Amino acid sequence: MNATEPLPRGQQMLLQRLIAKHCITSGKAEKEFKTLVANWKDYASRNDDDDDDDDGEEEENQNQGKVNFMGPGINTLEDAFVSINRQLKPGFGLEIVTLVDTFDNNTHYIAVINTMADEIAKKETVFAKSWNPHEHLEGGFKLSLDHATRVVGILLEEKWLRTSLTGDSEKQHRRESVQAKIELAPRTFLELSHYITSLGFDERKLPQFLFHRD
């Protein structure tokens, strides 16, 4: 692991929120960024916000504290992503990446992904072990509906899968929810694009990826 420098408090909190949400739209990420910047004093460390100074220095120190919270030169969400990735990728093998979903009005989805195809997470040899579960599990391919529903629920909650809308209105979607389709979610394409293509998915049909780098 390469040596890294600590991120400013604001960037740390932004990164934590991105990881906790698994995958988030650019609009929601922008809202998170603006909320942190607007309320920086609620989260700033003592070094960022020192109230013991004289009145003449208070305004200057507050302005400097605001700058220190998110980091010098970090004025936009894109600035923050570039700064975070500068430490995150070489140090931990993680990276903030954006996907453009052309099937969802070109909505931008953002996730923190693991760029290393390590044996635990991504190597095809690991996935290949699941091809013949009947050789290892009692009852062969038998799986209760309750267990299957729970597995799908977890994948939906963690945003590996998503339901596709089947109607033009929310009311119609609710009425047809039993027949809703399940499809791969943006997080899956972001995190596992190499594995999807190894299974035969046409690489030319992959969504567009945007990388936040210098």
Domain boundaries, the chain: 9-211
Q: Cα separation of 144 and 151, whole Å?
A: 11
The answer, yes or no, to whether residue 102 has pLDDT greater than 90, is no
Report the pLDDT value the prediction gives residue 1, as an integer from 0 to 100: 47
22-36, 43-57, 118-132, 171-185: range with highest mean pLDDT: 22-36
Poorest-confidence range of 63-67, 120-124, 139-143? 120-124
The answer, yes or no, to whether residue 140 has pLDDT greater than 90, is no
Q: Cα separation of 60 and 190, whole Å?
A: 42
Of the two residues 52 and 22, the one the predictor is more confident about is 22
The answer, yes or no, to whether residue 175 has pLDDT greater than 60, is no
Poorest-confidence range of 23-27, 76-80, 191-195? 191-195
The answer, yes or no, to whether residue 37 has pLDDT greater than 80, is yes
List of residues 6+ apart from 162 with CB closer than 8 A = 156, 182, 183, 184, 185, 186
The answer, yes or no, to whether residue 40 has pLDDT greater than 50, is yes
Using DSSP, state whether 180 is helix, strand or coil. coil
Report the pLDDT value the prediction gives residue 169, as an integer from 0 to 100: 47
How much is the average pLDDT of 5-25? 96
